[in-house]
Amino acid sequence: MSEKIGVLGGGSWGTALAILLAKKGLEVDMWLRNKEQISDIKESRENKKYLPGVKLPPNLNVVEDIKKAIVGKEILLLATSSHGIREILNKNRDYIEKDQLIVNVAKGIENDTLMRVSEIVKEILPENTYVILSGPSHAEEVAIDIPTTVVSASLDKAAAEYVQDVFMTPYFRVYTNPDVVGVELGGSLKNVIALAAGISDGLGYGDNTKAALMTRGIFEMARLGEKMGANSSTFSGLAGIGDLIVTCTSMLSRNRRAGILIGKGYSVEEATKEVGMVVEGIKTTKSAYQLAKKYGVDMPITEELYEVLYEGKSVKESVPNLMGRDKKHEMENIVSDEDLRW
């Protein structure tokens, strides 16, 4: 395999995947915005800000000129914040050839347009094939070869399988899925629930509360997903419940860490600064709330979190509000009225 890969974004996840691909012997150019960071990485062969202690392979090149990361590559890996992808693609679309495969690993929904990344890519690069790679995968673990499984999703089966082959290693197992909508929503919405789970931790609640948030959270994700055309079974897989579990339970999760701080009384701004990295779930909560209204989907956890993050509601009010909702059948969205008649 001799593919050339351009990685756009040198945060923890972009760096981890660049390392993974370089270890396979592929030629990888990784673009970063920050000139000082580039200089430091070139000198130390380590991304000290995001993945301290992990050495970069010699065939992983860090570049300042984004054109160098784009031109002549078979695969362009989008590894920046989801909310910065539109700007990057618009500025550099003239360098991108229509036969280059776009692989996205960012998780989020654009605030202003409520578009998923696949929709943004389709709008700007209508002729390029798109694949999303998502699932329960902390960069810190992938970078040191801890066994991990993810899913490659595309409307093009051959493209999904090609990405499966390119990224698969003895420690990184890749499954395929045709449900781009479900995989993108799963990866984005789990960050919302992880913020809520973190807030629960910060308030001092226990495992019972977190289990309830995670279980009811996956229902919310699936309900919205079905309305938007996703396959409900996707939310039972790696991009749904798998990613939700790892993001809600691990201290490697920046969304959970930010939630813990908010639960302890930090402002959103203070929590984000303390985490020191992009907390995708904060912006995604706004998009998810607006999508719930647009599609008429009941998403009580998302709504409470939105009011905490954007309307100044006290976190201590949210749990009584959720617990005091009207009685319901647990499976109200997947059973018929006939089934409910005992």
Residue intervals of the chain classified under CATH 3.40.50.720 are 4-178
Do 73 and 4 touch, CB atoms closer than 8 A?
A: yes
Q: What does the pLDDT read at residue 341?
A: 53
* Per-residue model confidence (pLDDT) at position 15: 97
Classify residue 235 by its DSSP letter.
Answer: G
Token readout for 249 is: 């339970």
Query: HSE of 133 in the Cβ direction (CA atoms, 13 Å)?
Result: 30
Amino acid 323: pLDDT: 76
pTM of the model: 0.94
pLDDT on residue 336? 43
Say if residues 300 and 322 touch (Cβ distance below 8 Å).
yes
- The DSSP string of 82-95 is GGGHHHHHHHHGGG
Choice among 107, 190, 210, 283 that is catalytic: 190
Phi, psi of 207 (to 5 degrees): -65, -35
CATH topology of domain 184-323: N-(1-d-carboxylethyl)-l-norvaline Dehydrogenase; domain 2 (1.10.1040)
Helix (H) or strand (E) holding 45: none
- How far is 66 from 215, CA to CA, in rounded Å? 42
Cβ proximity of 29 and 61 under 8 Å: yes
Q: Is 9 left (phi over 0), alpha (psi -120 to 50) or beta?
A: left
Greatest Cα pair distance, the chain, in angstroms, is 70
Helix intervals (H) in 51-179: 66-70, 85-92, 117-124, 139-142, 157-167
Question: Which part of the chain has CATH 1.10.1040.10?
Answer: 184-323
- 67 catalytically annotated: no
* pLDDT value of residue 340: 47
First-residue to last-residue Cα distance in the chain: 59
Q: Residue 63: which of 17, 33, 15, 30 has the closest Cα?
A: 30
In CATH, which of 3.40.190.290, 3.40.50.300, 3.40.720.10, 3.40.50.720 is domain 4-178? Answer: 3.40.50.720
pLDDT in tens, 65-117: 999 999 999 999 999 999 999 999 999 999 999 999 999 999 999 999 999 99
The pLDDT assigned to 202 comes to: 95
pLDDT at 322: 79
Please, what are the averages of pLDDT over each run of 10 residues along the chain (342 residues)?
91 97 97 93 95 96 97 97 95 97 97 97 98 97 98 98 98 98 98 96 94 94 96 96 97 96 96 92 97 96 96 85 73 51 52
- Strand 4-8 to 75-78 pairing: parallel
User: Given this model, what pLDDT does residue 164 score?
Assistant: 98
